[in-house]
Structures are given as structure tokens and as C-alpha cells.
Amino acid sequence: MEIAGKLTNQQLVVTGGSEGIGRAYAFELASHGMNVIILSRSKDKLERTAKEIEEETGKRVKVLVADFSRDDVYREIEDNLKDLEIGVLVNNVGILPSMIPSKFLETKNLNQTMTDVINCNMRAMAEMCRICLPGMEKRGKGVIVNLSSGVATIPCPLYSLYSASKVFVERFSLCLQAEYSAKGIIIQYLKAGGKIHGSVGHTFMGWLLQSLPSGILHSEAMQEGFIAYVKKLSQVQLLNQVGSYSLFPLGFSTLKLCRKVFCE
């Protein structure tokens, strides 16, 4: 393919790249010629994913262990990436405080949870952009993909921290696109949920948010019923079943951006 040759010397950086959507991105873009750097906090999962990608695509994969809930990880990341030509950054890392929904004050370990959500879902994206954008700006090309969620569509009670953090992803992405589009850099956010499927939880939440009027969604009765429903799902382990994430149309959209940036 035309795009494969153009991407051969480009580096792909994926946070949360050892599983789920991040893993699927790493596989997909490696198959189109990119060398891959994946980051997450689990060394075992990273190494397993790296081996699978290398065996299937023949591309080199570098792993960086990084716990994005911590404040002290970015100097090491920056040292490892500073001399690389990073063409694509996928900010995928994020945490859901609890799969079982709860009101804000009923969140377990609330103080630590607030710090973890802000660090993983918001600060990590901003820091990785800070690290990777200067090289893209200097070269006059680059693609940044920030993963949002269907719960950012409307105010989502019971997932207040997570929902609000994903709104930040969208606003930050739109602002950066306005600031750097003239530099040849494309920055987009994508929502998991709705038409982008993967886990049962994402699929269900995407359908729910697009189907129900906000007055019903925000009612006390609806909230209590939703908590009971999710607890029931968790008991039969449906929410722990992570699908084999398909990157169509999500990945196809990103490949179109890569073709525009690196091939035209």
C-alpha cells in the first residue's frame, strides 16, 4: 500500500497500549509499516503484546512501563522518546473509577480516586502532547488521536468523574487542533461507544446515552435502576468481557488522517 512505505520510518506511540483499543491501534498501524512504542503499567502485558505484534507484523516494538496515575513518570518517558521521529500519538490510557456506578460522595477511596482519574484521563494526555508535539511542529506533520467516550456526550450521573474527564479530552483536542492545524498537525478525539464497539460496557453506555432523554436519564429512579442493572451484569461477568476491538470505523478514520498527513 502507498501509506505503508510512507509510514516505515515513523514511530507510533500508544498509551494504554497493552490491551483493548490501545492494543488494537498498535497492531493496526504496525501492519501498515509503523514502528511501535507502547506504554502501560503492566510489564508482563506489554511484553506479551509486543511479542504478538512483532511476530504478526515484523515491526519492532518498544515497551515503556509507566503508571500514569503517578506524577513522576514523565521525565523517563521524555528521555526515551526525545530522539525519535514520532509521527502518530494515540492517547488511550484512562481509568474508570469503578465499573459499578455510584454517586460522587459514595465513590470508594474518593480522594485517591480523584487524583487517579485526573492523572490518567486528563494529565497523561496533556503531558504526552507536551512531549510529542514539539517534534511534530518542527517537522510540519503529525497525527494525535485522543480517546474520549460516549459518556462525554451528555452529563452522565453516577460516572461523574469519568464523564467530566472525557469532556476535557474533547475540549482539549479541539483547542489544540485550532492552535496547530496550520503546522500540518491533525488532532482528533474519538468516542468509544455508540458505533465504536469493544467492551459490553462501552456498547451499552453508548446506546443508553443516545436513546434516553436527559430528564429520564438523570432521574433518581433511573439512577437507582441503573446501579442495580450494572450490579446484576457484573455478577454474571458480562462487564468483564472485553471484545476483540475492531478498529473499523475508528482505525479507518485514523488511517485516513495518516494518509493525508504523510502521503499527500
How far is residue 94's CA from residue 23's CA, in Å, rounded to a whole number? 14
How far is residue 3's CA from residue 263's CA, in Å, rounded to a whole number? 6
Catalytic residues: 162
What pLDDT is stored for residue 100 in this prediction?
Answer: 84
CB count within 10 Å of CB 120 equals 22
Reduce the secondary structure of 78-134 to three states and give it as a string: HHHHCCCCEEEEEECCCCCCCCCCCCHHHCCCHHHHHHHHHHHHHHHHHHHHHHHHH
Instruction: State yes or no: cis peptide before 249, omega within 30 of 0.
Output: yes
- The range of the structural domain enclosing residue 114 comes to 2-263
Positive or negative: CA dihedral 176, 177, 181, 186: positive
**Cβ neighbours for 93, distance < 8 A, ≥ 6 positions apart:** 15, 16, 22, 39, 40, 68, 120, 124
What pLDDT is stored for residue 196 in this prediction?
Answer: 45
Bridge partners of 62?
37
What pLDDT is stored for residue 221 in this prediction?
Answer: 74
What is the residue whose three cell numbers read 474508570? 96
Helix, coil or strand: residue 247: coil
pLDDT (tens digit, 0 to 9) for every residue of the chain, 264 residues total? Answer: 444 445 556 899 999 999 988 999 999 999 988 999 999 999 999 999 999 999 999 998 999 999 999 999 999 999 999 989 999 999 999 999 887 889 999 999 999 999 999 999 999 999 999 999 999 999 999 999 999 987 887 788 888 999 999 999 999 999 999 999 999 999 999 886 544 444 445 555 556 666 767 677 667 776 677 667 666 666 555 444 444 444 544 555 555 656 555 655
What pLDDT is stored for residue 101 in this prediction?
Answer: 87
What CATH number does the domain containing 186 carry?
3.40.50.720
How many independent structural domains does the chain possess? 1
DSSP single-letter state for residue 212: S
Where does residue 139 fall: left (phi above 0), alpha (psi -120 to 50 degrees), or beta otherwise?
alpha
Instruction: Report pTM.
Output: 0.81
